[in-house]
A and B are shown apart, each in its own frame.
Chain A
Amino acid sequence: MSASELLRELDSLKDAKTQIEHKISLLEAQLREINLRNDAAPPNGSSSLSYPTNGLTQDMIHRYSRHLMLPSFGVQGQANLLKSSILVVGAGGLGAPALLYLAASGVGRLGVIDHDVVELNNMHRQVIHTEAYVGKPKVKSAAAACHSINSTIQVVEHEEALQTSNALEILSKYDIIVDATDNAPTRYLISDCCVVLGKPLVSGAALGLEGQLTVYNYHGGPCYRCLFPTPPPRTACQSCAEGGVLGVVPGIIGCLQALEAIKVAASVGEPLSGRMLLLDALSGRIRIVKIRGRSMQCEVCGENATFTQQQFLEFDYEKFTQTPLRVPPLKLNLLPSESRISSKEYSEIILKKETHVLVDVRPAHHFKIVSLPKSLNIPLSTLEARLPEVSSALKKEEEDSGVASGSSAQLYVVCRRGNDSQRAVQYLHKMGFASAKDIVGGLESWAHNVDPNFPTY
């Protein structure tokens, strides 16, 4: 068998294994329930008394006993929770812990919407997914995990991207919405839809080592647009894929989102409305600040706002935020083709031992992860100040290889994906390094087209 045949066979076996495991856990849960019921069946001939239990079944009382014993939560809180429905938008770093706790706590109907598949490089934070699900839809994986924790609740799978065209229909089926997404346009879309439908919104976000949490559109409180009427510039919206994130940080915020959703669903405590929690994980600080109330001038929820379902359907969130709803990696094209080489061509330059200098313009902490041999790290932000280093590296290379006078060492520039390298080459051309060329697609292309063993991140 060829490698690809083996891989296909492995994939289909893993598929079958997952399905069987899922079936086993379902059957085991059913069996446990039957056993519980049989254990509880009154012995022959004994009277079948009825006991007042405020509508909770024997199984529920057993499963949720630690909730029921809480004076501030109790039977009423649990009964409210069991009757409630909550939709979690996004089964990523925030959604993963939120879904696990919401399922365990006994939310009656728990929905999850996501269009993505499970990826290994997200598993450091998306703790609901297991390795067996890599490459499979996150929704399937998340629903299976929720079900294996609590087979008595209803888990609803929405395997699609949230858009204006499906948002009203999907969100209207739930009492509470949890925003566990990762981009600005979707956040505006969800908030507006919640205002139009009158649903409370538990909103969380995390990046790097910081997190933020608040509840919008709750009991006359502000909506997302009351706080942020104008979207930020696109360059201010880093994603976890671009900026990195410590896995446990969205984990903490996701748990807090579950907490707020449970409080709203159970009608207990004071939900975090009109206040915002700011987590700075590195310094170990959490601050809770008072934010503005509902803005009279808000275009969506304000006094004179006339934002209808029809307007929602027609609103272009991508244009509004200048960001695509599904974020494709940015692909710049700044240079003429004669100023660019492919990663394959660069590998031949190495083989032929051509005299050259390779400048890697990624940030120093990226360079530490992995780099090409003999590359010189000059981060793009410091290139201006470090131009002399480029000149001297070229000169040294020429001297070392004894290049005949008249010809010179070539200058190549690489980065992670081939955008910053173009910006750098553009600048180098302007500063007199006319022969500078960038490697198209950067290190990702090297891993893809030259050496599959090169680590990507």
Chain B
Amino acid sequence: MQLTLEFGGGLELLCDSKKIHDVNIEQHNGEDKLIMKDLLSWVRNNLIKERPEMFMKGDTVRPGVLVLVNDCDWELSGQLNTSLEEKDVVVFISTLHGG
């Protein structure tokens, strides 16, 4: 499945300072659908190069990270259970506090 993943608000520093990643994810164990829970563990294993605790806590993202699926808060689409489709854009963005 082709997806575009974007990291912002400093999270890009955890994956070689690259903000946009066009990825192709192969589904395993015969499942034909991919949900956010699967994507998170894929990202953690394949893209996060350092300090994984700055990206995840338990099986979800750490506090202070907004997840957007096609420009929409994943809270509105079922969070970890959000189903992903071909060409979806998933954004992970850390909230900023500076000014």
Contact = CB atoms under 8 A, between A and B. Distances in A.
B14 to A, nearest CB: 11
Contacts of A187: 97
Interface residues of A, number: 47
Interface string A79-104: 00000000000101111000000000
A341 interface: no
Contact of A92 (B10, B50, B71, B99): B99
A191 to B, nearest CB: 12
A179 B23 CA distance: 37
Contacts of A208: 10
Interface stretch (B27-35, B38-46, B58-66, B80-88): B58-66
Interface string A234-256: 01111110010100001001000
B64 A206 contact: no
B93 interface: yes
A236 B99 contact: no
A381 B94 CA distance: 21
B68 A205 contact: no
Contacts of B75: 291-292
B17 to A, nearest CB: 11
A231 B66 contact: no
Contact of B94 (A90, A204, A236, A240): A236
Q: Which of B9, B68, B94 gathers the greatest number of chain A CB atoms within 10 Å? A: B9
A227 B54 CA distance: 18
B66 A233 contact: no
B15 to A, nearest CB: 14
A230 B73 contact: no
A318 interface: no
A278 interface: yes
Q: Which of B63, B65, B76, B99 gathers the greatest number of chain A CB atoms within 10 Å? A: B99
A267 B86 CA distance: 41
Contacts of A444: none
Given A232-B62, A289-B72, A290-B72, A283 B98 contact: no
A161 to B, nearest CB: 15
Given A181-B99, A205-B97, A239-B97, A290 B76 contact: yes
A260 interface: no
B63 A204 contact: no
Contact of B76 (A231, A280, A292): A292
A339 interface: no
B24 interface: no
B20 to A, nearest CB: 8
B8 A90 contact: no
A184 B99 contact: no
A411 interface: no
A179 B68 CA distance: 24
Interface string A187-211: 1000000000000000011111011
A452 to B, nearest CB: 29
A276 B68 CA distance: 11
Nearest to A253: B99
A210 B53 CA distance: 22
B92 to A, nearest CB: 12
Interface in A51-100: 90, 92-95
Contact of A232 (B19, B93, B94): B94
Contacts of A25: none
A306 to B, nearest CB: 23
A457 interface: no
Given A278-B8, A280-B8, A290-B76, A236 B64 contact: yes
B95 interface: yes
Nearest to A227: B66
Given A207-B10, A233-B63, A278-B93, A292 B98 contact: no
Interface string A205-237: 111101110000000000000011111110111
A212 B9 CA distance: 9
Contact of B73 (A95, A233, A278, A291): A291
9 contacts: A205-B95, A205-B98, A227-B95, A233-B63, A240-B99, A243-B98, A250-B98, A289-B91, A292-B76
Given A183-B97, A207-B96, A232-B95, 17 more contacts: A182-B98, A205-B98, A232-B62, A233-B53, A236-B64, A237-B97, A239-B98, A240-B98, A243-B10, A245-B98, A253-B99, A278-B8, A287-B71, A289-B68, A289-B71, A290-B76, A291-B73
A-B complex: 5 closest residue pairs judged by Cβ atoms: A232-B64, A230-B63, A207-B98, A205-B96, A292-B75
